[in-house]
């Protein structure tokens, strides 16, 4: 069986813990490989390598660091097909989606190619008599990233793309469910000219995460995953004196106003709810039609749309989505569907019985749809993370805005309308971090920044864009004068410029 290793100090390292986790092919349900789970020893070795590398990497000028990013981007593009197939074979998403996963990560690398501009400091000439003040952004040292299974290329690149470009070295702890692509990205980073130790990959579980949170030489931790773990990482990391950003789960709503282009909204919401089997933190699993008539029209059209969906193996170019990541996750989704029925929601389409001929052991689940879901139901309050669309009916615009605003999660939200004033009011009022107006998956472009509100994100800094640059750097402000002639008396009171 294939063993997936760590990547420390520029080389594959098998690890000594004797602990492994199985990697499945979600299409067939077979075990395809096993991944080594780190012990403290591997984490310490990776940090030691990163500390060594950082001392020289921070002195490489920003333009040269940007060139490494440029070469990395080119290498990833050259390897796109192989990487996408590798990603699909462990995650289960269709190959076109895997390419999207890699491409959205590369857009952050493109931003990182312009890092000299982003790192320019500020300067005030003559802040006082003969006194100039300027500021600079310096790297933190060693940073770490802990990532979820659902975007094994994009989310690591969100993090290490910026962290490394600004002069840090990085330790990536990817999900133990699909760890092959992150290792390949680290190899390509070395091929692109990053010195060994600049990007290390530690495979593992809670043991590795705790070792990262406790290690005094790691100065910042970026986390993306489910909310309970995000909160754990945020509270432990900050208690250990680290800078932490921790993104959590989501339950994104799509508000459909009576004046919306309903056919377009149905297409958009179908893609956002069922694409990638609903395993996206920016999926749209809740639809809120405003008014009974809108609800009835939407329901009828969405049921027809679901009929057309094709679920297939991840290599099937005609399939809209593939299997979910593990059998355990499939069970969890099926349990939520049962809970929805028990709670009294109306199950219009039940995906639990779906089987793909020839792939009966694969982790497939068909699309499901509920109507008459109520805010008090657990299936509404919690994240299902599967291909399940829940319809919550609202009578008025105010009621519709209140639903996502009062939900425990606040990652993304979308409104479908032809009314610019309603859309503007919605964007201003809604208590959610990322808003789409007739855009179902409003993932911000790389030079803006990504981040939710409430239990969807702990900490203040968003991912990538200038927020990412700020997260991975610290500001130093210098006040300078070059006195001439006689020695001046120094005052013992707080100096002022006036």
Active-site amino acid positions: 281
Cα–Cα nearest to 266, from 297, 289, 298, 294: 298
**Looking at 91-99, 220-228, 343-351, 488-496, which segment touches ligand NAD (CB under 6 A)?**
220-228
- Does residue number 281 form part of the binding site for ligand NAD (CB under 6 A)? yes
Question: What would the 3-class secondary structure string for 383-440 be?
Answer: CCCCCEEEECCECCHHHHHHHHHHCCEECEEEEECCCHHHHHHHHHHCCCCEEEECCC
E-assigned strand segments in 162-319: 169-173, 199-201, 218-224, 243-247, 253-256, 286-289
Token readout for 104 is 């959205």
C-beta closer to ligand NAD: residue 4 or 146: 146
Cβ neighbors of 466 (< 8 A, separation 6 or more) are 118, 447, 449
Residues 6+ apart with CB under 8 A from 379: 336, 339, 340, 343, 345, 370, 373, 390
The reply on whether position 452 binds ligand NAD by CB under 6 A is yes
Q: How far is the CB of 276 from ligand NAD (least distance, A)?
A: 11
245 vs 294 by CB, closer to ligand NAD:
245
CB of 224 or CB of 287, closer to ligand NAD: 224
> 405 and 377 in contact (C-beta within 8 Å)?
no
498 CB-near residues (< 8 Å, 6+ apart): none
Phi, psi dihedral angles at 71 (to 5 degrees):
-65, -35
456 interacts with ligand NAD by CB under 6 A: yes
DSSP letters spanning 59-98? TS-HHHHHHHHHHHHHHHHHTHHHHHHHHHHHH---HHHH
Q: Which single residue is written with the structure tokens 């986790």?
A: 21
Size of the site for ligand NAD (CB under 6 A): 26
Least Å distance between CB 96 and ligand NAD?
A: 19
DSSP state letter for 441: S
Closest separation between CB of residue 337 and ligand NAD, Å? 18
Q: In whole angstroms, how close is the CB of 155 to ligand NAD at the nearest point?
A: 6
Figure out which of the listed residues 247, 257, 266, 295 binds ligand NAD, where binding follows CB under 6 A.
Answer: 247
Residue 210 exposed, middle or buried by CB count within 10 Å (0-12, 13-18, 19+): middle
Per-residue x/- mask for ligand NAD, residues 168 to 197, rule CB under 6 A?
Answer: -----x-xx---------------------
Q: The tokens 């060693």 sit on which residue?
A: 142
Closer by beta carbon to ligand NAD, 42 or else 176: 176
Distance CA 85, CA 95 (A): 6
What is the CA 241 to chain-centroid distance, rounded?
Answer: 23
Q: Interaction with ligand NAD in 324-383: which residues (CB under 6 A)?
A: 383
Asked whether position 224 contacts ligand NAD by CB under 6 A, the answer is yes
CB 441 within 8 A of CB 223: no
- By CB under 6 A, tell whether 249 contacts ligand NAD: yes
150 binds ligand NAD (CB under 6 A): yes
Identify which of residues 195 and 459 has a Cβ nearer to ligand NAD in the complex: 459
Q: Which stretch binds ligand NAD (CB under 6 A): 48-56, 63-71, 131-139, 218-226?
A: 218-226
Nearest distance in Å: CB 467, ligand NAD: 13
**Segment interacting with ligand NAD, rule: CB under 6 A, options 3-11, 72-80, 121-129, 241-249:** 241-249
Number of neighbouring beta carbons within 10 Å of residue 198: 28
- x-or-dash string of contact with ligand NAD, 43-82, rule CB under 6 A: ----------------------------------------
- Mapped onto helix, strand or coil, the DSSP state of residue 221 is strand
Give the residue with the Cβ less far from ligand NAD, 43 or 119. Answer: 43
Q: State yes or no: residue 411 binds ligand NAD (CB under 6 A).
A: yes
- CA of residue 218 relative to chain centroid, distance: 21
Task: Among 66, 199, 211, 229, indicate the residue that binds ligand NAD (CB under 6 A).
Answer: 229
Task: Give the residue among 440, 439, 437 at the shortest CA–CA distance from 278.
Answer: 440
Which residues fall within 8 angstroms of residue 26, CB to CB, at 6 or more apart? Answer: 90, 91, 92, 314, 322, 323, 324, 325, 326, 362, 363
Binding mask 109-148 for ligand NAD (x = CB under 6 A): -------------------------------------xxx
Q: Smallest gap, in angstroms, from Cβ of residue 68 to ligand NAD?
A: 26
Among 15, 161, 225, 440, binds ligand NAD (CB under 6 A): 225
Instruction: Choose which of 7, 72, 111, 149 interacts with ligand NAD (CB under 6 A).
Output: 149
The residues of the shown chain that bind ligand NAD, judged by CB under 6 A, are 146-151, 173, 175-176, 205-206, 209, 224-226, 229, 247-250, 281, 383, 385, 411, 452, 456
């Amino acid at each position: 069986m294939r063993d997936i290793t760590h990547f420390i100090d520029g080389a594959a390292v098998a690890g000594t813990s004797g602990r492994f986790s199985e990697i499945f092919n979600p299409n067939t349900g077979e075990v395809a490989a096993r991944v080594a789970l780190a012990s403290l020893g591997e984490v310490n070795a990776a940090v030691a390598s990163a500390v060594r590398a950082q001392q020289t990497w921070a002195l490489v000028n920003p333009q040269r660091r940007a060139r490494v990013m440029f070469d990395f981007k080119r290498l990833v593009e050259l390897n796109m097909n192989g990487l996408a197939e590798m990603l699909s074979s462990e995650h289960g998403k269709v190959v076109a989606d895997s390419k999207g996963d890699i491409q959205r990560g590369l857009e952050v690398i493109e931003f990182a190619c312009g890092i000299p501009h982003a790192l320019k400091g500020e300067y005030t000439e003559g802040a006082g008599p003969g006194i100039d003040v300027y500021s600079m952004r310096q790297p933190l040292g060693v940073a770490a990233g802990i990532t979820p299974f659902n975007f094994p290329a994009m989310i690591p690149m969100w993090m290490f793309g910026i962290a490394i470009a600004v002069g840090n070295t990085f330790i990536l702890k990817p999900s133990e469910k699909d760890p092959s692509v992150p290792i390949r990205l680290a190899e390509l980073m070395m091929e692109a000219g990053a010195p060994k130790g600049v990007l290390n990959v530690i495979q593992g579980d809670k043991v590795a995460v705790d070792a990262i949170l406790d290690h005094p030489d790691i100065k910042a931790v970026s986390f993306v995953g489910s909310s309970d773990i995000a909160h754990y990482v945020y509270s432990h990391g900050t208690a250990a004196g680290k800078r932490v950003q921790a993104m959590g789960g989501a339950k994104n709503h799509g508000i459909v106003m009576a004046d919306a282009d309903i056919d377009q909204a149905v297409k958009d919401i179908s893609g956002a709810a069922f694409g990638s089997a609903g395993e996206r933190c920016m999926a749209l699993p809740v639809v809120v039609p405003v008014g009974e008539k809108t609800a009835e029209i939407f329901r009828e059209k969405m049921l027809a749309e679901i009929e057309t969906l094709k679920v297939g193996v991840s290599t099937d170019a005609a399939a809209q989505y593939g299997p979910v990541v593990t059998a355990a996750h499939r069970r969890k989704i099926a349990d939520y569907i049962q809970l929805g029925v028990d709670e009294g929601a109306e199950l219009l389409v039940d995906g639990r019985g779906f089987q793909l001929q020839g792939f009966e052991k694969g982790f497939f689940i068909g699309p499901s749809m509920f109507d008459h879901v109520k805010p008090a139901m657990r299936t509404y309050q919690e994240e299902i993370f599967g291909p399940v669309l829940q319809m919550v009916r609202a009578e008025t615009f105010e009621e519709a805005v209140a639903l996502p605003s009062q939900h425990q999660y606040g990652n993304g939200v979308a409104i479908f309308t032809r009314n610019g004033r309603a859309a503007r009011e919605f964007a201003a009022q809604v208590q959610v971090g990322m808003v789409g107006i007739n855009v179902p998956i409003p993932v911000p472009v790389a030079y803006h920044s990504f981040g939710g509100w409430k239990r969807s994100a702990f900490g203040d800094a968003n991912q990538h864009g200038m927020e990412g640059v700020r997260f991975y750097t610290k500001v130093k402000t210098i006040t300078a004068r070059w006195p001439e002639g006689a020695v001046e008396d120094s005052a013992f009171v707080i100096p002022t410029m006036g």
